[in-house]
């Protein structure tokens, strides 16, 4: 069984523990954070050992990846590069740093690509400031209907923003977490509607506060692993960590 997700989470926890200890802070908050992280790490290592897999897996052979003319072999490397950090800084010199979907300027901000047509040489019009939560929701909508990013972005903005009537929706989105939206989205997955109507109906429920009381937990480890991978791509680390804990519970029951 593939437990790569648990191994990745263990490495992340080790880095977090090292950062917390480096602070050399003796505050109760820091001490509790270290203790929680160490308990989680111990649990992950126990699961890795139980499945007979070394925590330090054998190094993979690096595939020879041809770099493009801009010097990047893939999109993820670009997003984590100093070039992208500089591009974001230059964008915010001329644009207000707030989510164009919910209006929040307090959440972690991402810079979403409206289009990949000019990737690595983006124009300002190709980019869109979104908070981390709205960014993840948009990509969940895009992935569900397998839409081009241009279409998904256009539909998302038309439903969540654009007129004064959307104030209630924007206010509701500021209070909504990606996990709540994801749970609601899964409950509505069987609705046979065009993408625009499906999203409109979902957002209507968000605006009414009708999220439902049931907490949707994923039923099988394979689905959990796919969900973890999606959380990792969108950068929602808290959601990623929660799903790793869920996967461990599923593995322990086998």
* 245 located within any domain: yes
Instruction: Tell me if 45 is assigned to some domain.
Output: yes
pLDDT, tens digit, 9 for 90 and up, residues 163-185: 556 888 999 999 999 989 998 99
Judged by DSSP in three states, 3 sits in coil
**Residue 1 lies inside a defined structural domain of this protein:** yes
Look at residues 180, 181, 178, 186 and name the one whose alpha carbon lies nearest to residue 219.
186
Number of structural domains found in the chain:
1
Q: Does 26 map to a domain?
A: yes
Per the CB < 8 A criterion, the answer to whether 43 and 55 are in contact is no
Q: Is the pTM of this model over 0.95?
A: no
Is residue 30 situated within a structural domain?
A: yes
Interatomic CA distance for residues 5 and 41, integer angstroms: 13
Residue 134 lies in a domain: no
Q: Are 244 and 224 spatial neighbours (Cβ–Cβ below 8 Å)?
A: no
One digit per residue, the tens of pLDDT, for the chain of length 254 reads 456 777 888 888 888 888 888 876 678 888 888 888 888 888 888 877 776 555 455 555 555 555 555 556 678 888 888 999 999 999 999 999 999 999 999 999 999 999 999 988 899 999 999 999 999 999 999 999 999 999 999 999 999 985 556 888 999 999 999 989 998 998 888 888 899 999 999 999 999 888 865 444 444 566 666 666 666 666 666 666 777 777 777 676 65
Tokens of 195: 């993408």
Query: Domain span at residue 24?
Result: 1-55+236-254
| 180-185 contacts at long range (C-beta below 8 A, 24 or more positions apart) | 180/211, 181/133, 181/137, 181/140, 181/206, 182/137, 182/140, 182/216, 182/239, 183/211, 183/212, 183/214, 183/215, 183/216, 184/211, 184/212, 185/140, 185/141, 185/144
Q: Per the domain annotation, does 82 fall within a domain? A: no
Closest CA to 45 of 9, 20, 21, 19: 9
Instruction: Report if residue 254 sits inside a domain.
Output: yes
* Residue whose tokens read 């997700």: 5
Q: Which pLDDT score, from 0 to 100, does residue 233 have? A: 66
Joined together, the tokens standing for residue 155 give 């539909």
Torsion of the alpha carbons at 113, 131, 180 and 228, rounded to the nearest 10: 60
Query: What residue ranges in 22-143 does DSSP mark as E strands?
Result: 109-113, 127-131
Q: At 141, is the secondary structure helix, strand, or coil?
A: helix
Q: What letter does residue 235 receive in the DSSP assignment?
A: T
In 3D space, the residue among 34, 9, 2 whose CA is nearest the CA of residue 238 turns out to be 9
């Amino acid at each position: 069984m593939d437990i790569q997700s648990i191994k990745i989470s263990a490495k992340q926890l080790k880095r977090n523990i090292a950062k917390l200890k480096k602070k050399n802070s003796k505050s109760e908050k820091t001490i509790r954070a270290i203790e929680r992280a160490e308990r989680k790490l111990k649990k992950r290592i126990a699961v890795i050992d139980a499945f007979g897999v070394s925590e330090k897996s054998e190094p993979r052979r690096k595939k020879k990846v041809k770099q493009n003319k801009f010097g990047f072999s893939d999109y993820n490397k670009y997003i984590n590069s100093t070039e992208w950090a500089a591009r974001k800084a230059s964008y915010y010199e001329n644009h207000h740093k707030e989510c164009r979907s919910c209006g929040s300027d307090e959440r972690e901000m991402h810079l979403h690509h409206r289009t990949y047509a000019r990737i690595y040489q983006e124009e300002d019009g190709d980019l869109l400031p979104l908070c981390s939560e709205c960014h993840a929701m948009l990509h969940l909508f895009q992935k569900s209907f397998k839409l081009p990013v241009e279409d998904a972005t256009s539909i998302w903005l038309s439903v969540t923003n654009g007129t004064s009537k959307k104030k209630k929706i924007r206010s509701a989105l500021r209070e909504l977490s990606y996990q709540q939206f994801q749970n609601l989205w899964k409950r509505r997955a069987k609705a046979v509607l065009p993408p625009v109507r499906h999203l409109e109906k979902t957002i209507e429920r968000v605006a009414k506060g009708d999220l439902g009381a049931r907490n949707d937990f994923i039923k099988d480890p394979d689905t959990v692993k796919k969900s973890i991978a999606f959380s990792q791509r969108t950068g929602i680390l808290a959601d990623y960590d929660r799903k790793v804990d869920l996967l461990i519970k599923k593995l322990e029951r086998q």
